[in-house]
Structure 1
């Protein structure tokens, strides 16, 4: 609209949490800070509606001045998740066929059968050699595939460490596709630079 009084034309959704099932409303707002625009919102944490995490994502505009759709990220306005530290499964922004509990230090992703859990974005150094999962019931896992921006970088036949290949330095979306024959609770995963 050219005026706050209208008329308005619907141009789409700024941010959508489609990849995060069981979310309550996100109550977003946009604000300019130091010349850049951001969308600020909150989403529920561990699938509990009254437990919230505050989020902020940078907004970009197209050539016509319209806001480009914003993807929710695990890191918000930070550049990306640091591979030298544990990454908590409750920061996942892709959650398919899993649920979350308050178990563990920061909550756990609970999976049974097939699940997809993804993190947007992780800063790879290019030196990562393996990923180790931490949680309960890891012996129930029968298969894990790890992708970076859609390309397979590692897999394992079980809950043991996942050897990584073709790792390139950069900011990527990491997705775990996990098959489990029983209940598995995943709390963190960690990258290692040694095999």
Structure 2
């Protein structure tokens, strides 16, 4: 039986940001960095892979560790971290993993005979004279590789450009030969940094990081994270070498700019950096991206949303939802975990979780877990203070008459339930003070139809929110 697909699409205890999704055979595989819950830096764990049947995106399978960070010959002590990778199939039919270690400015490559096997280091991207890409006199540092192979040529996109750093010009494409390592065409810039955005069409959305490349409908889509950080933008070209024309935002991990259900300038989640790409699965296109949890930059989780590529090549921006891979709204009955909230905010607005290394303070609710990193268990929303709201989109409701919630903590009050963030209250659920998880319920008549559900805490103290149940009888 197919499972319903939630966001995040992996188990709540897994932290795979920077997702690069690919369909190989009848499964979709996702490759990304690997954050550590409660970690002190990005990408502290080894590369792992997860996959799912193309017709069952709620049923993900752990494929195991595909590449440990001490596999690279320059990182035998494991002191450097594995930043965002990408994978492509070479002309020899093997799978090539491209990555950058956090202490180096060069691109490393590993290879495997299958998409989710154990990859083996095979070399560094280099010029014909052996100089590694990123170390020649005129090279800019390499970062966040994105790769596309066509015939015997592989197009490698890289770059990292902090706003204000005039030494970084933008994302660049480098062409590699059939050995997947040797440069046959030197780097050329395809998307400008903020310092060089004037007159390019990228103004306000200049390149920051997270280069990714896909081909769809005869067009090449360059997906990247802009200087705004929270958004994944795209640019389009008729050639993998460009020129690329800026087209817009595909998704924001705080839902900024979306005005279909709220003002466009209102954030609905705590954003941060973003990285991902698009993929066609069983005839439908999706954007993979990540959200931030635990009130920090360093515990990121992969999410996905269905997108539309229109006949003119444009991709309308999509909302963050709780049901991205489900093919439609979730069933309006049964139990749901609170960690699938796609809206989370309180009376004190914040666009992001803060700069890297900073932690959100006690004003803000956050998605977290009790168990240590890597241990299976259920996440929940902590620090629901008065005025805090958790929102979930969307449910196909028919005859919902009662809602139960599971909470704990030193708080008394009630959940006010709405079907729109600024809508009328359709019911309230009284909550008590309890140190262990306890279920409270009340009659709440949800109108029939497709709806969001928003739970606002009204009262005093702070509570944790584990989940809810929609009851039709």
Which TM-score applies when normalising by structure 2? 0.37
Asked if 1:161 is matched to 2:441, the reply is yes
Change over 3 Å in CA distance of 1:176–1:141 after alignment to 2: same
Q: SS at the partner of 2:248? A: coil
Aligned in 2, Cα 1:34/1:100: closer, same or farther, shift over 3 Å?
Answer: closer
Task: Give the structure with the larger strand fraction.
Answer: 1
Does 1:57 find its partner at 2:305? yes
Residues 331 and 395 of structure 2 are in contact (CA less than 8 Å); yes or no, is this contact kept in structure 1?
yes
By relative contact order (CA 8 Å, sep 6+), the higher-ranking structure is 1
The answer to whether the aligner puts 1:70 opposite 2:340 as a matched pair is no
Deviation at 1:9, TM superposition (A): 2.5
Please name the residue that 2:367 is paired with. Answer: 100
Q: Is the 8 A contact 1:89 1:109 kept in 2?
A: no
Q: How is 1:121-132 mapped onto 2 (pairs within 5 angstroms)?
A: 121-124=394-397, 126-132=398-404
Q: Is the 8 A contact 1:100 1:110 kept in 2?
A: no
- What's the CA shift string for 1:116-158, capped at 9, x where partnerless? 211111221x111011111114851245132258654622273
Q: Corresponding residue for 1:119? A: 392
Of 367, 376, 383, which aligns to 1:110?
383
Q: CA separation of 1:134/1:166 partners in 2, compared to 1, >3 Å: closer, same or farther? A: closer
What is the rounded CA distance, in whole Å, between the counterparts of 1:193 and 1:110 in structure 2? 30
CA contact (8 A) 1:38 1:56 kept: yes
Contact 1:109 1:185 in 2 (8 A): yes
Unaligned 5+ residue runs, structure 1? none
- What TM-score results when the alignment is normalised by the length of structure 1? 0.82
Q: 1:49 to 1:183 in 2, by over 3 A?
A: same
Output the CA distance in 1 between the equivalents of 2:340 and 2:429.
25
Q: Retained in 2: the 8 A contact 1:145–1:178?
A: no
| Equivalence for 1:134 | 406
Deviation (angstroms), 1:106: 2.5
SS at match of 1:123: strand
**Given the alignment, which residue of 164, 177, 185 partners 2:456?**
177
Shift of 1:50: 4.5
For residues 38 and 96 of structure 1, the distance between their equivalents in structure 2, rounded to whole angstroms, comes to 26
State whether residues 153 and 164 of structure 1, in contact with CA within 8 Å, keep that contact through their aligned partners in structure 2.
Answer: no
What are the superposed Cα offsets for residues 64-113 of structure 1, whole Å, 9 maximum, x if unpaired? 33101011211221133334331111100000022233148322342112
User: Once structures 1 and 2 are overlaid, which stretch shifts more, 142-151 or 9-18?
Assistant: 142-151
Q: CA RMSD in A?
A: 2.7
Alignment partners' CA distance in 1, 2:242 and 2:442:
55
Runs of 5+ unmatched residues, structure 2? 1-236, 255-267, 347-364, 371-376, 432-439
2-structure distance, mates of 1:74, 1:141: 26
Q: How many residues align?
A: 191
Deviations 1:134-187, CA, capped at 9 Å, x for gaps: 11148512451322586546222733534223621x332222222231111111
